[in-house]
Structure 1
């Protein structure tokens, strides 16, 4: 690790949590230079929902490269882009009765969020955006303005403006109706809150602590936005592409957002790729009004198109949901078995974890799991949640082996468990 410590910036973070040098990965496993094997419950912070180096995606990408397929094309038309657009419509949008235009804003999650905020302001002529406590939407200035984490906001170095934060579902307690609170601000001309251009929300807050918005809360938020002519943006960068059990995380709530932000696992292969989806009548952009040099990543188009083969088979989604139930059962049993965790099970699908009231314990569990051959991270403002992000196509044997490592790690860190 000396070369990284000597020459790489102090800003590096994940290599501090996982202090080894990786050189190979396949499926749900990674290996370091010493040949040690690790089960991956991190999945590139949600960018590798199908695991590492998927055979079908790899074969399609190698074939494309060997045939001198276009790599870089900005937003010029290309065969690879056309095939992705067609398949995304056929496999994802049409079966869900979603009518969206597709925008390629740049390769990352923060690119799609920035484009969504700009579009909402352009369409409505308003400036403010409503975001929610503990939300995370990216690290560029616009995205940071709607992000809750104080330390990340501080990194901007300038005032973050034109955004108002409202309490997320159950932020205060179960008795407080946070949407009634929000709407009161809109109704009262003396509240100091102007009618916003848009509301942006994650259905499950990944970085903010695996906080889950109830489906009823999301439906009511959708209705509130319609009532006040506010655009409704769902940030599905991390919670989308099957992570919560359905392709879009908002599907079980029965809502159709005005704008949807997607990135991370969209390429299927860990290749940078993002899209912004929006209702056709919102497509008021002038040519080139929002652009970027790397918004035409043809290698990502190729792998993303191949990844959609999974979703063409209805059995795949059912399998993802079954593994989500296994994960939930494991976490609930673990939390019951080890009351010393002082824990709360959070999440939905394969985006889950345990929040511990014991200061520093979640980080210690993640560190001990790494020592025992499992990679997972923490989330929440105080890193109070150890979170499980296994690949959505992980095999049962590897999934359960990962569970065993987590339990061994918890057992080592607390006294003998209580068995009921």
Structure 2
């Protein structure tokens, strides 16, 4: 590990939590240099929905490379791009009766968000953008201005302007419809909230803590945006590509956003690939007005097409995801019930779920305990207090059950041991614990 300490920046994060030299991976498994096997519930932070090194995608990619297929092409027409566009139209757009223009941006999610914000401002002639509490949209300056996390915002080094933050669904309690608040401030010329170009939202806030909005809230948000001439951007970078059960995370609400951002698992193989979708009437770009040297990754086009052909030609894969999501929800509910009301809560939708551990230290201890048992799982949320499940959608039922078994065993270990106990009251076997000192007494 010396070379990493010697040359790599202190900015690295995942490597600190999982300090091994990883050598190969297949499906839901990743292996270190000593051959130790880990079940991967991190999956590239949602970039590996179809697992590591999918054999069908890999074969197609190798065939393309060996045929001397185009690797880099700027935005030139290539057969790889053509075949991806045809597959996306056939398997995704047409069955859902969606009419969108596709734009290939730079290769990461934040590139797609930057393009979305820019085109929304160009279309409307307005500069401000509404985003939501606990939202996460990327680390470049435009995307960061719409991101809520103070740790990452503070890394910008300059003031982040051009946005208004609005409470997300449930932020003020289940009884408060925050879209009514948004409607009110956009209606009142003295609210201090300028009419925005767009509102950007995640239907499931992954980095923000696996918060998810209701169907009614999302439908209401779409109506408020339409009423005021505000473009609705759904950031589907982590929640899309099947993570919630449907290909798009907004399908359950029956809405059609004006703009959609996609990345992460879009390539199907972990290759860099990002795309913007917008209604055809909003294609107001002039040639070259927004570009990038690496817009459109031909190798990613190949594997993305293979993923669409393999999993999205019919509704079977979506049904499997929803079945696994129901299984995860049932298991997490039982874990929460077993370890005491008020201590842990389950949250999320589809195969995008997590456990709120109240304390970041408790969540961190659970993650470390799981790692020792052969499970890689990370934390998220405002204070990293959420254990977040992002296993591949293709995971076998056996591995899924084993992974959740490890989570439960790790929670049991942390609760039973002399670990950190949150300062706020929590419950152990229906006994209220008011302090760390009292917890030690109870454990003893």
Q: Does structure 2 retain, via aligned residues, the 8 Å contact 1:241–1:266? A: yes
2:6 corresponds to 1:3: no
Deviation at 1:108, TM superposition (A): 0.4
> Which residue in the other structure is 1:334 paired with?
335
Aligned partners of 1:406 and 1:370: how far apart in 2? 10
> Which residue in the other structure is 2:306 paired with?
306
Deviation at 1:359, TM superposition (A): 4.6
Q: Does structure 1 retain, via aligned residues, the 8 Å contact 2:177–2:217? A: no
Counterparts of residues 20-419 of structure 1 (less than 5 Å): 20-309=20-309, 310-339=311-340, 342-415=343-416
Aligned partners of 2:229 and 2:79: how far apart in 1? 38
Deviation at 1:340, TM superposition (A): 7.6
Aligned partners of 1:391 and 1:307: how far apart in 2? 13
> Which residue in the other structure is 2:435 paired with?
none
Q: Give the secondary-structure state (helix, strand or coil) at the position aligned to 1:345.
A: strand
Q: Does structure 2 retain, via aligned residues, the 8 Å contact 1:109–1:138? A: yes
Deviation at 1:235, TM superposition (A): 0.1
TM-score (normalised: structure 2): 0.93
Aligned partners of 2:243 and 2:177: how far apart in 1? 27
Higher mean displacement: 339-348 or 405-414: 339-348
Aligned partners of 1:59 and 1:357: how far apart in 2? 44
Q: Does structure 2 retain, via aligned residues, the 8 Å contact 1:76–1:296? A: no
Q: Does structure 2 retain, via aligned residues, the 8 Å contact 1:341–1:356? A: no
Deviation at 1:122, TM superposition (A): 0.3
Deviation at 1:341, TM superposition (A): 7.1
Q: Give the secondary-structure state (helix, strand or coil) at the position aligned to 2:199.
A: strand
Q: Does structure 1 retain, via aligned residues, the 8 Å contact 2:360–2:386? A: no
- The runs of 5 or more residues in structure 2 that have no matched partner are 418-427, 431-444
The superposition leaves residues 267-323 of structure 1 with CA deviations (integer Å, 9 ceiling, x where unpaired) of 000000010000000001000000000012100000000000211132111011100
**Count of residue pairs the alignment pairs up:** 419
Q: Give the secondary-structure state (helix, strand or coil) at the position aligned to 2:400.
A: helix
Q: Give the secondary-structure state (helix, strand or coil) at the position aligned to 1:74.
A: coil
Q: Give the secondary-structure state (helix, strand or coil) at the position aligned to 2:277.
A: strand
Q: Does structure 1 retain, via aligned residues, the 8 Å contact 2:110–2:139? A: yes
TM-score (normalised: structure 1): 0.98
Aligned partners of 1:333 and 1:235: how far apart in 2? 31
Aligned partners of 1:291 and 1:107: how far apart in 2? 11
Higher mean displacement: 308-317 or 276-285: 308-317
Q: Give the secondary-structure state (helix, strand or coil) at the position aligned to 1:233.
A: strand
Q: Does structure 2 retain, via aligned residues, the 8 Å contact 1:341–1:358? A: no
Q: CA RMSD in A?
A: 1.2
Aligned partners of 2:137 and 2:100: how far apart in 1? 21
Q: Does structure 2 retain, via aligned residues, the 8 Å contact 1:340–1:414? A: no
